Structure 1
Amino acid sequence: MESSSSEKPRNLGGSLPVPNVQDLAARPDDLTLTILRRYLRPHQLATGTHHQLIPVVDLGRLLDHHEHEEEAAKLSHACQDWGFFQVVNHGISDDTLEEMKRDVMAFFNLPLPDKTAFAQQPEWIEGYGQAFVTSEDQTLDWSDLYFLTTQPPTYRDLRFWPPEPSTFRRSMDRYSVETQRVATELLRAMARNLGLRDADEMTRLAAAQSMRMNYYPPCPAKERDRVLGVSPHSDAVGLTLLLQVSPVQGLQIRKGGAWIPVDPIPGALVANVGDVIEVVTNGRYKSIEHRVVVDAAQERVSVAAFHTATFGSTYGPLEEMVGGGEARYRSISVEDYVRLVVSSKLEGKNILDAIKIN
């Protein structure tokens, strides 16, 4: 059933070009209601008043023979009841994290012409710009992104890897290898929790990786409460590991009919179960909707490492997860799945809805 491809297919789909939000925010006097209207939403579900902390998983304890059991139970609870958790003691050095943060900030601080030299091309979302814009009349997100395919190295398109800052390629390479390791270890622990005979059925979901670097400028408009940095969605990948570059709150997850803020823990990564894990586990672990709100005065930057299977393989419920029941999702090749994702806008769990067996 599984084979992998060392080459990334071409023409997987792209996104319509949109205005640069960092540039708009830098010129608040030019931010007319006509321009802002593309970003305004009719109604927002309010942020929850009950402050809940999402689970924290200690990866060092999870990998420790003596302390594994208690931490595995925490991971199981996080995956089944939350879909989100923070990963501490992950083994990525402070130097690697800080260098990554510094270089991502340096890229976003380049003059606009220097960044648009790495603008996305029509056939794929790699590069600088925005993603999931499928029509001229959809509501836009108040953010810019810079998207790179990072693993395996044969998938990289170095046309989009900037020479400035000079350390960018090295820091991205180091950070990419380390986050892929963490994702693989977490997926292996999930496989054990699920009772799978072959952990490869889960760890293959970290064989490929891409990075989405997000820039959320402050929104100076008084209608800011109707603007979002990222629309509510679940991640259409296997496992996401998020590095919060700025200590500014913005990420919120949907739980119990309210939006719960995720407080950044210094040095931690925020992990979340993606749609692909929900498919593979036949709904045992569920992906969770999340969104990003924007601040009035402070910029926010984050880096999301998305982990998936390689091209040439297939997503579908594992036989062990279906058991004597019925598969809830149809199987789909990774190529067709990526084309489906890229051609859709971010909207709730619309990707899963498209492959659900009714």
Structure 2
Amino acid sequence: MEIERDQHISPPSLLAETIPIIDLSNLDEELVARAVVQASEEWGIFHVVNHGIPLDLIRRLKEVGTQFFELPETEKKAVAKQDGSKDFEGYTTNLKYVEGEVWTENLFHRIWPPSCINFNYWPKNPPQYREVIEEYTEETTKLSERILGYLSEGLGLPREALIQGLGGESTEYVMRMNNYPPDPKPDLTLGVPEHTDIIGITIIITNEVPGLQIFKDDRWFDVHYIPSAITVNIGDQIMRLSNGKYKNVLHRAIVDKEKQRMSWPVFVDANPDVVIGPLPELITGDNPSKFKPITCKDFKYRRLLKLPIE
């Protein structure tokens, strides 16, 4: 079905939807697993609370991100994306009052595994940046593997099936810090245009300023902000590995006229050489393959250039 897109940003009267909220501290593991699976089938997005990541660490993560974006432009450009680079790592900015453009500045860099880390893109200021990111990486990998374990079991497979499908120990974790300053012309620009995440899953922390919207039931909905929650998005790779059982959520970010919005997503991404297609154990006569197997790097190339994949 072709979705009818809005030409301009939706007004403040946009309906608000409460996405599923899953308490990971519930002692009934089967209940938690079923909730994660159901949310991934029906929504492709959910909040997790009591997730085990220390709230003080989250506070420190927000602090170093805020401090980085408050630096003079010359300091931020010390870790800028290189001109002509085909990779995504580094600092980028696009703060222009141009209709249809995004209004954001970002910092992208890989955080795991150690073999793929390039510290040239990790800011040296604030000085505690590296320590905080390394601590948060350890916690994020544990949380993502727990979520992927539930999703694997929801497919009737061993807990490690999906993480292995993404590359096992070579699965890449990428930090992206997004800063959306107050925008005097919010009707012209988006923080992030509508898209589905090209990766496996996304683990998201935001500040208190709302802005994330999802497309469901033929309309756009605001996602409520919950201070202690972490948001999980299902991306394209998990949709393909699960043969369509799990939904990749269409979403976007809007900007605020008066308030600064920030977000800290971590992308759990397949190794570039991994073949992304339905896990072989899922394919039967009654459940034929819905997607063509393709390497992760070729999949991304074709997606980014809007070329056919199937």
Alpha-carbon distance in 1 for matches of 2:8, 2:105: 22
Q: Quick one: structure 1 residues 318 and 46, their matched pair in 2 at CA, closer, same or farther if it must change by over 3 Å?
A: farther
Give the deviation of 1:138 after TM superposition.
9.6
Alpha-carbon distance in 2 for matches of 1:338, 1:153: 22
Unaligned segments of structure 2, at least 5 residues: 1-5
Alpha-carbon distance in 1 for matches of 2:197, 2:249: 8
Q: Which amino acid aligns with 2:39?
A: A
Q: Quick one: structure 1 residues 313 and 130, their matched pair in 2 at CA, closer, same or farther if it must change by over 3 Å?
A: farther
Q: TM-score, normalised by structure 2?
A: 0.89
Which aligned segments of 4 or more residues in structure 1 are displaced greater than 6 angstroms? none
Residue in structure 2 matching 1:201, options 157, 161, 164: 161
3-state SS of paired residue (1:212): strand
Task: Map residues 267-286 of structure 1 onto 2, 5 A cutoff.
Answer: 267-286=228-247
Give the deviation of 1:322 after TM superposition.
2.6
3-state SS of paired residue (1:271): strand
Which protein is richer in helix relative to its size? 1
Q: Is 1:126 the counterpart of 2:89 in the alignment?
A: yes
Residue in structure 2 matching 1:68, options 29, 40, 43: 29
Alpha-carbon distance in 1 for matches of 2:111, 2:274: 18
3-state SS of paired residue (1:242): strand
Instruction: Answer with 164-173 or 203-212: which moved more.
Output: 203-212
Alpha-carbon distance in 2 for matches of 1:48, 1:256: 17
Q: Is 1:55 the counterpart of 2:20 in the alignment?
A: yes
Equivalent residue, structure 1, for 2:281: 320
Q: Is the 8 A contact 1:278 1:286 kept in 2?
A: yes
3-state SS of paired residue (1:249): coil
Alpha-carbon distance in 2 for matches of 1:49, 1:164: 39
Residue in structure 1 matching 2:8, options 30, 34, 43: 43
Q: Is the 8 A contact 2:15 2:222 kept in 1?
A: no
Task: Map residues 8-27 of structure 1 onto 2, 5 A cutoff.
Answer: none
Q: Kindly provide the CA deviation profile for residues 324-358 of structure 1, in whole angstroms up to 9, marking residues without a partner as x.
A: 232111111123234345x44xxxxx68xx323xx
Residues matched between the structures, number: 295
Give the deviation of 1:50 after TM superposition.
4.0
Equivalent residue, structure 2, for 1:296: 257
Q: Which amino acid aligns with 2:297?
A: E
Q: Is the 8 A contact 2:273 2:296 kept in 1?
A: yes
Equivalent residue, structure 2, for 1:331: 293
Q: Quick one: structure 1 residues 50 and 294, their matched pair in 2 at CA, closer, same or farther if it must change by over 3 Å?
A: closer
Q: Quick one: structure 1 residues 339 and 177, their matched pair in 2 at CA, closer, same or farther if it must change by over 3 Å?
A: farther
Alpha-carbon distance in 2 for matches of 1:50, 1:179: 31
Alpha-carbon distance in 2 for matches of 1:303, 1:283: 27
Alpha-carbon distance in 2 for matches of 1:43, 1:234: 19
Q: Is 1:236 the counterpart of 2:205 in the alignment?
A: no
Q: Is the 8 A contact 1:92 1:178 kept in 2?
A: yes
Equivalent residue, structure 2, for 1:143: 104
Equivalent residue, structure 2, for 1:26: none
Equivalent residue, structure 2, for 1:218: 182
Alpha-carbon distance in 1 for matches of 2:100, 2:65: 26
Seq. identity, %: 33
Residue in structure 2 matching 1:103, options 59, 64, 76: 64
CA-based RMSD of the aligned residues comes to 2.1
Q: Quick one: structure 1 residues 91 and 279, their matched pair in 2 at CA, closer, same or farther if it must change by over 3 Å?
A: same
Unaligned segments of structure 1, at least 5 residues: 1-40, 132-136, 345-349
Q: Which amino acid aligns with 1:233?
A: H
Q: Which amino acid aligns with 2:92?
A: G
Q: Which amino acid aligns with 1:332?
A: I
Q: Is 1:311 the counterpart of 2:265 in the alignment?
A: no
Alpha-carbon distance in 1 for matches of 2:29, 2:263: 30
Q: Is the 8 A contact 1:48 1:258 kept in 2?
A: no
Q: Quick one: structure 1 residues 48 and 200, their matched pair in 2 at CA, closer, same or farther if it must change by over 3 Å?
A: farther
Equivalent residue, structure 1, for 2:3: none
Give the deviation of 1:48 after TM superposition.
6.7
Equivalent residue, structure 2, for 1:257: 218
Residue in structure 2 matching 1:177, options 132, 138, 141: 138
Q: Quick one: structure 1 residues 283 and 211, their matched pair in 2 at CA, closer, same or farther if it must change by over 3 Å?
A: same
Alpha-carbon distance in 1 for matches of 2:12, 2:231: 19
Which protein is richer in strand relative to its size? 2
Q: TM-score, normalised by structure 1?
A: 0.77
